[in-house]
Chain A
């Protein structure tokens, strides 16, 4: 008898009882120690809920760190590469952080919740790094991962649904803005953020109110075809929107075993998040040196010919391998076969003549396509409603 057989390997999130009711496929996976649905009913229907109606995604397992104290801003300015002073109270900023060698440890979002009060959301567990980074600063760091439940509510009717649920003032909330409302006696924090590239919001509440929030949301959303979605559908949407995924599109520096397998912000096309006007931050010296000497890698978004997703493909130029694909998907709304690739080419090298070497299988028969690719500057899916304020509502 295994004495641990009745103990769960993955913890349930605050929404688990409700997810169970929706999860007809029983397709569960693990995310950061928690149970997460990979899909509930049908990946394509879930994807189209994101793009056509309202999709609900449980992002509670995301690591959440509350940073408070008189040195909170200065501390975050050591950790993050961008200037935290520019993320005003009530705003959210996308950010990355590097180790001292200038290699990206993670990307995430920083919520400026109040005076000297921030929440940092990250893909990797970051408590230890934040702890060491706090040496010399008067700050407190609290891991809120298990105490704050979060739902992403994304899609063209998301504003309408949340308004119907009773959230007031949502129309005037700008992208990356934060709104606090009362929900059944609890504080419900609503941010206009997301990982889908669409109009959408994220809801943050104490775990004790999780089920009530889910019930209210689905009751209000039913007329608008609200749908719970899993990670598989989200994966297509985030690629279509051009978002990098830590652990997929780069190896978080602290988890890398081999030297040279990590990436700098410049190598991920995230140089715009590095603010050298800040006199000091982790990785600054190394990144200055890289800026002057040039990077080893170059991130590109590729529009790949045909409809075969270029999963894990080699990218060739004039018959020579110049890189590999990290993420790829056929993007249904943008009607684009998109791939993110890491090329071992200098920043000024020509990007003409790129070809993806794609292998795919049909009934145990493997086929190869050499699909021409075009590097594109912007993600193919970028609807105006994503940025419009007031947000479009029905």
Chain B
């Protein structure tokens, strides 16, 4: 006897997208969420009475317009407070640079302007190809089934159709590091710093690390449709709420405060879950949007899988270097070189690529950067509802920060907060005067808060050895986890990360297709 057809673990955006698609196809679906609200790592967090900051994710970047239409998210309450925001590179002397789609403004040479337009053109073109790959399960190489061969032939053909110059350039750069790519093309240290930040944010890489041209492409997937970052009205929670509404409208049952303790697997097949309160729920299959390491190690137990699966799970790279800084502000601070109207845009601290590389150095040795890169949002500018009248909140993504520094976070938390506010003060000298409340969320905090092993917002590092048919590991790349009755639909699956909703959607497609086959 099963309670439902499908149990989905986690009401993050991927879990909800997957659940909605499955319910729309007629399955009875229940979503089990350990927390009290939907959204996963895209939620609001009240840091002082009336001050709402984004708990982790702060921008909507890659949620594809197509998925928003398919799930009718606007009907279900998704509203954007601002779209296509400009990324502004801050400078202590006020000489800022602004980027939006292919255009640069600010103090920049004509050569850099042209070089940026050209890079934007090339990356957008490659990203249209990546987007195509992202929208379906990755092709497998070894089995060599017809549909895999066709998918690979399609990829080869499209690469060739890029034209020989662009294809050669892509093949030359695809495995490169972003530092070398930027050195070849640009003069402006700030412009190179900003693009370095784009490439390494959310990763455990510095700009000189291999893979970072690829991560730059990944982070700018939205260029495939000419998009930039947007801000959700009501805070990031607005996305989760709209997705939860869509899920419920499709017939999904949502249970909050339902923490899954373990997967039930008496034989060779997952049959359901056991909740922390001891309740057992049975289902035809269980779909986990939880990160793969937690799914296999904590929920299933490595003893229940075959050796290669256990080995591969234990080798997934999940180290995060990302932290959050949250401030409640009594008023708008002054940023050198910016007027108040620009403070609702995306503000970046990454003055040059060496600065970004130096920010990466400490994390290699279990420390945090006292001069980190920052990706700053003051969401209350575009959406005053997030703070009391006339007051503001600031949220910054801080890179790079060790998950577990020597001596533990308890001894370093205050110092890190102070260092990072000092860093911010180099660009906004009066920031300290406005601070009403402040907090940092370290990778360890993010891990604990959002139940993601390692605290990585992509669950599994996005790098060439952990994408496509190798994400999260070979043999589990098509959402089917290598264990009967268990599927994966979270950011740890192809195409992974970045609030795209595509892992959830692809997983649902795959599950429905596999049901049809069996």
Residues of A within 8 A of B (CB): 71, 74, 78-79, 99-100, 129, 132-133, 135-137, 279-285
Contact = CB atoms under 8 A, between A and B. Distances in A.
Contacts of A135: 302, 307, 310-311, 314
Nearest to B269: A279
A136 B302 contact: yes
Contacts of B484: 285
Contacts of B266: 279
B306 interface: yes
Please report whether the interface of chain A is mostly helix, strand, loop or mixed according to DSSP. Answer: loop
A283 B268 CA distance: 12
Given A100-B308, A132-B314, 5 more contacts: A99-B308, A133-B310, A136-B302, A280-B305, A283-B306
B171 interface: no
B301 interface: yes
Nearest to B484: A285
Contact of B307 (A71, A74, A100): A100
Nearest to A99: B308
Contacts of B314: 132, 135
Interface in B272-322: 297, 301-311, 314
Contact of A279 (B267, B297, B306): B267
Nearest to B303: A136
- The list of the 6 closest CB pairs from A to B, nearest first, reads A136-B302, A136-B303, A279-B267, A135-B310, A132-B311, A100-B308
B455 to A, nearest CB: 22
Nearest to A101: B308
B310 A284 contact: no
B384 to A, nearest CB: 51
Contacts of A283: 306
13 contacts: A74-B303, A78-B303, A99-B308, A100-B308, A135-B310, A135-B314, A136-B301, A137-B303, A280-B268, A281-B306, A282-B308, A284-B306, A285-B268
Given A132-B311, A135-B311, A136-B301, A78 B306 contact: yes
A285 B481 CA distance: 13
A282 B302 contact: no
A132 B484 CA distance: 22
B308 A280 contact: no
Nearest to A288: B268
Nearest to A286: B306
B453 to A, nearest CB: 15
Nearest to A74: B303
Nearest to A138: B303
A161 B486 CA distance: 58
B307 A284 contact: no
A71 B301 CA distance: 14
Please report whether the interface of chain B is mostly helix, strand, loop or mixed according to DSSP. Answer: helix
Nearest to A130: B307
Contacts, number: 52
A50 to B, nearest CB: 37
Nearest to A71: B303
Contacts of A129: 307
B310 A132 contact: yes
Contacts of B302: 135-136
B269 to A, nearest CB: 9
A71, A100, A132: most-surrounded residue (chain B CB, <10 A): A100
A132 B307 contact: yes
Nearest to B483: A285
Contacts of A284: 268, 306
A280 B309 CA distance: 13
Contact of B310 (A136, A279, A281): A136
Contacts of B268: 279-280, 284-285
A281 B314 CA distance: 18
A71, A79, A135: most-surrounded residue (chain B CB, <10 A): A135
A135 B307 CA distance: 8
A221 to B, nearest CB: 43
A129 B306 CA distance: 11
Contact of A133 (B267, B297, B301, B307): B307
B267, B307, B309, B314: most-surrounded residue (chain A CB, <10 A): B307
B303 A100 contact: no
Contacts of A136: 297, 301-305, 310
A49 B307 CA distance: 43
A241 B301 CA distance: 42
A65 B307 CA distance: 18
A133 B308 CA distance: 8
Contacts of B304: 136, 280
Contacts of A137: 303
Contacts of B301: 136
A373 B422 CA distance: 87
Nearest to A283: B306
A172 B304 CA distance: 40
A282 B301 CA distance: 15
Contacts of A132: 307-308, 310-311, 314
A154 B443 CA distance: 63
A99 B297 CA distance: 20
B303 A79 contact: no
A128 to B, nearest CB: 10
A99, A136, A283: most-surrounded residue (chain B CB, <10 A): A136
Interface in B243-278: 266-268
B267 A100 contact: no
Contacts of A279: 266-268
A353 B350 CA distance: 79
A100 B311 CA distance: 11
Nearest to B302: A136
Contacts of B297: 136
Contacts of A285: 268, 306, 484
B242 to A, nearest CB: 39
B307 A78 contact: yes
Interface in B469-489: 475, 484
Contacts of B306: 78, 100, 280-285
A13 B467 CA distance: 48
A281 B267 CA distance: 11
A369 B303 CA distance: 54
A74 B473 CA distance: 25
A99 B308 CA distance: 8
B26 to A, nearest CB: 29
